[in-house]
Chain A
Amino acid sequence: MSLLRVENLDVSIHGTPVLKGVSLALEAGEILGVIGESGSGKSMTALAILQLLPEGARAAGRIALSGHDMLALDEAALCGLRGNEVGMVFQEPMTALNPIQTIGAQVAETIRIHEDVSRKEALARAAQALRRCELPQERFPLSRYPHELSGGQRQRVVIAMAIALQPKLLIADEPTTALDVTTQAEILTLLKRLAREDGMGLMLISHDLAVVADMADRIVIMRQGEVVESGACPAIFGQLTHPYSKALLAASDHQPERAGHVFEAPLLQVKNVVRDYALPRAGLFGGARKFRAVKGVSFDIRRGESLGLVGESGCGKSTLTRAVLGLEEVQGGEILLDGAPVFSGKRPNRAVRRKMHVVFQDPYGSFNPRWKVGRLVAEPFHLLDDAPEGRAAAIAEALEKVGLSGEDAEKYIHEFSGGQRQRIAIARALIIKPELIILDEAVSALDVSIRAQILDLLADLGTRFGLTYLFISHDLSVVRNVTDRCLVMQAGEIVEEGATEDVFERPRHDYTKQLIAAVPQLPSK
């Protein structure tokens, strides 16, 4: 008998179907990967198994978890199973813990809610569970509060809570999506180890094919509430039949065609840039303290080149980006675009700023929701000394360049999907015909299939207009596919620089090696 068997599961929320005839099975000790893009219903499937569906949801079909008919049980019986027979880990470690309770108390609660044990014993067992999740009491006392821990550490606490009673099934919904790549590798290893040690079934849900492919015994691919394909892993990757799964696999490692000419002369020169932030004073009589986010960074981008900048969160890449854009003054060194400083005197240099623009990560936060697209796209005209003639024509031209139509200028931003919004962001960046485009995690928030389209668009625009790109990302596989050269940044410093292929094939610095080793790999086709 399977540990978990889901048969013909239908779920609708306020009458709108979100799951349609989902069937899947998981044996004890097995790792099942569930893959899907946003809206595929993968998280809803997990919530249905725990019977923690949002209000207004109705489920039909059958869910059998180690012999229990989950859809037939009453709430009291379900509470007895949750945390005891099945544990769950969620995506966002920053908000998954109660901010005003110690981690010890939160892990111990799992034990105390299900077993009649003393507070002291529950805490002792909580300490044990945390130790298994590599948070030993000596370094992470039970009295810590969540805000005193990093994202990866918090996720370990969440995992400790889920496995404290050694459940038969652990569901992990995008457990590493919010984490850096090295932390991701550690958490995935931890999950795998725990599953193997306890003979626990693990259902690993992810949008990232490579993450799942590395870990799973079997995988299920979902799309719009339906299972489109399932099979043993990694064998399945050689014999995908459904067109969607094939497209998904292709998009996951998409390499756009680039054919621009790279000139020798540098377009952007960053020389020994230092950027300090003031920290709050230490006490009334403490001196002013500062934090050096960027520690003497130097690099060039040649005209027509696509340069990657990779690094984990907190490495200083966002700070560096702001400095290059001339948004903040630097405390040392200089930044020259086409030979002229981006900051002259105490003010940003407008003449220089016209030659670059930026595309941000979040397609939803990048636009003022009260403006029409035309006005949004035209905003960079503010950098020009006098309004250009044929403003409307310029807007239409920019929109057409990115594959939209001139009529879209009259619409509001909420009428567009995430991928279309990113196209509009590119149109906004292009409208004053800059030479350098800074892509700040510009494709990180997009589903893989949309991401592939945007990467193609960028490559095409780069070729047609001889654009220079600075491609900033935490995603190494994307950087590998779209850049000529790349820089690796760690703790405010560039630790490695070279031709992209060289860096990835023959990394020299330890940190680069560590990063590349941590990147989950797709099975070779």
Chain B
Amino acid sequence: MLRFVARRLVSLLVSLAVASCVIFVFVEVVPGDPAAYMLGLNAQEDTLNALREQLGLNGTLLERYLNWVGGMLRGDFGTSYTYRTPVSEMIGERMWISLPLAIYALTLSTLIAFPAGIWAASQRGSLVDVLVMGFTQLGVAIPNFWFAMLMVLLFAINLRWFSAGGFAGWEAGFGPALKSLTLPAIALALPQASILARVMRSSLLDTLGEDYIRTARAKGLSRRQALWRHALRNALIPVLTIIGLQFSFLMAGAIIIENVFYLPGLGRLVFQSIAARDLIVVESVVMLLVFAVIVVNFLVDVAYALVDPRLRVRA
């Protein structure tokens, strides 16, 4: 088991290294002088030079890369050109909206999907199954930002249960903060929950058809017992994969949803930075999100090994 984790850890580090290279090279291929690009046409020569200095554009490619990575490792993401503040501070502030939102949505999605998927699979062909399949079919097809707009229309404008946007702030207390994240989280979670419920259902149906379920039934287990004791844990393996993938979709989806609700999260930051051509910020946020995705996939791999003893040896 330890060896398995160690191996995955090595591949995690390699992925991070390669991903950082890709992002770095990408920003490097900006045609012409990045400083001139960022400042636009009417830039003064001395401002350009100052920015070049600040971007570390005066060293070799390798030096610049190492500077960038080394800085990030120390928590120094550079200084935003537009806001003249350290990028790490800007990200730090906004992360406390985006990360809780993604986790909130993932939790909701799992809490909805597991019961729905299990229920539908255990009563295949019943009314419950048909309803779950019908609703999830819709849930998969609905664009989440449109769903968010409809919810604002209903819950914020007509019913006035929630405010239409903005963030109460954690300093206003846990309850109000969570409340202002609730509609965005639901908007993010529902399409993901639909996918997850379908995967859960079909994976469970697959395992229910396995030989060892028949063996368990021959031992005297009821259909229900066989499902809970034997099928469920085996069915989790593909479900875990999807949960891992969904995290990256949630992080990305959050960027869009934050726009609907005017949440001052990483998403807003990215779009403001693109508009302001603040490449340092864009680069840093993208790296951070990719970092989160890679770490979550590492955790999913470890979870695999916990579920499936065969993986512990093979790796």
Contact = CB atoms under 8 A, between A and B. Distances in A.
Contacts of A110: 219-220
B214 A147 contact: no
B310 interface: yes
Contact of A99 (B217, B225, B308): B308
Contacts of A79: 220-222
B264 to A, nearest CB: 45
B220 A81 contact: yes
B211 interface: yes
B220 A147 contact: no
B218 A98 contact: no
A75 interface: yes
B229 interface: yes
A84 to B, nearest CB: 6
Contacts of A432: none
Contacts of A75: 222-223
B228 to A, nearest CB: 12
Contact of A145 (B215, B220, B223, B309): B309
Contact of B220 (A84, A90, A92, A95): A84
B310 A161 contact: no
Interface residues of B, number: 23
- Counting contact residues on chain A (CB < 8 A from B), the size range is 20 to 34
Nearest to B233: A100
A470 B233 CA distance: 47
A50 B218 contact: yes
B218 A145 contact: no
Contact of A109 (B223, B229, B310): B229
B218 to A, nearest CB: 4
Interface string A54-91: 00000000000000000000011001111110011010
A168 to B, nearest CB: 14
Most buried by B among A83, A96, A100: A100
Contacts of A382: none
Nearest to B310: A147
A98 B216 contact: yes
A386 B222 CA distance: 64
Contact of B308 (A84, A96, A100, A113): A100
Interface of A: 50, 52, 75-76, 79-84, 87-88, 90, 92, 95-101, 109-110, 113-114, 145, 147, 158, 161-162
Given A88-B218, A99-B308, A147-B309, 18 more contacts: A83-B221, A84-B220, A90-B211, A95-B210, A96-B214, A96-B215, A97-B215, A98-B215, A98-B216, A100-B234, A100-B308, A100-B309, A109-B229, A113-B219, A113-B220, A113-B221, A114-B220, A162-B219
List of 5 A-B pairs having minimum Cβ-Cβ separation, nearest first: A83-B220, A83-B219, A95-B211, A88-B218, A82-B220
